[in-house]
Structure 1
Amino acid sequence: MTDLSQALSLSSSGLRLQSARLVHVSENIAHADTPGYQRKLLTVAQGRFSLGDAKGPEAGPIALDQSQPTEIYDPGHPLADETGHYTGTNVDLVIELADARAAQRSYDANLKMFQQAREMSSSLLELLQK
């Protein structure tokens, strides 16, 4: 496998990983008001990668955030206990938006790397045809 195709493979792995990260962030945002929902965290599979094997980072198992959910006081809510409280969620929209922005920037960086490698390989093919 050539270095250019390895670069394409690594950047596409990064694109898939950041895409999966954005999916989980969007799920967390969608469930921000769902009582009892635990925030999902995307882990990266433990493994070493290098250009030699052309295998980039991959998504690992989904982990649930173990931080404490909020206790909401609303005596009229159907899930409220005798004290008028019910368990909310542990999703913080500010953290989710920051994670989404970081994932988007990483996605853009991998996309630029992919485009650069593709342009370099097409330029190389043009040179070889002459």
Structure 2
Amino acid sequence: MDYARAFAISAAGMAVERTRVDVASLNLANANTVLTAEGANYQPLRVVARAMPMGANQETAWASFSDRVEQGLDTPELSSLSLPLVQTEPTGAQPRMVYEPGHPFANDKGFVAYQGVDTATEMVTLMSALRAYEANVVAMNTARTLSLKALDIGGGS
């Protein structure tokens, strides 16, 4: 039996959740940064995942996905799996305007433009990504246990 499929599926799921954690952490780290008068700002991001169509050419898929699975999908039988592809994109959230007339980056009306990051949403994203990552780890460990038990069958204990 070949357990590479189960390992590749779990690895792909863990890569998606790791990306969600990275993006949520980046958004939280920049939540209290300000938009400067020169226009330098951080654009909050979100993760978009979609299933790769069965039999789709990985070269035409989002390039970062093949790097995440680390060559685990190169075999012909694994390349036809419908695994998630991950992409990040700006949320388009409007800046949060806070009245702070003494702030060095306040506009002429005394408002400071902070990033449009919703910290509660980002914390929920972190928690749900953690739980999904843990579920993928359990699935991978289960496949590992099954493969080890299959090896024990012929061991003659």
TM-score range relative to shorter protein: 0.7 to 0.9
Contact 2:52 2:82 in 1 (8 A): no
Alignment of 1:95 with 2:121, yes or no, is: yes
Residue 58 (structure 1) shift: 2.8
Percent identity for Structure 1 against Structure 2: 27
Aligned length: 128
Residue 49 (structure 1) shift: 5.1
Say if 1:121 and 1:46 are closer, same or farther in 2 by CA, change over 3 A. Answer: closer
TM-score, normalised by the number of residues in structure 2: 0.73
Residue 95 (structure 1) shift: 0.5
Aligned partner of 1:48 in structure 2 is: 53
For structure 2, the 5+ residue unaligned runs are 36-41, 56-76
Aligned partner of 1:116 in structure 2 is: 142
Residue 47 (structure 1) shift: 2.0
- Alignment partners' CA distance in 2, 1:17 and 1:95: 18
Contact 1:18 1:107 in 2 (8 A): yes
For structure 1, the 5+ residue unaligned runs are none
Say if 1:105 and 1:45 are closer, same or farther in 2 by CA, change over 3 A. Answer: same
- Alignment partners' CA distance in 2, 1:106 and 1:75: 43
Q: Structure 1: which 4+ aligned runs deviate by more than 3 Å?
A: 49-52
Aligned partner of 1:58 in structure 2 is: 85
Alignment of 1:39 with 2:47, yes or no, is: no
Residue 32 (structure 1) shift: 1.1
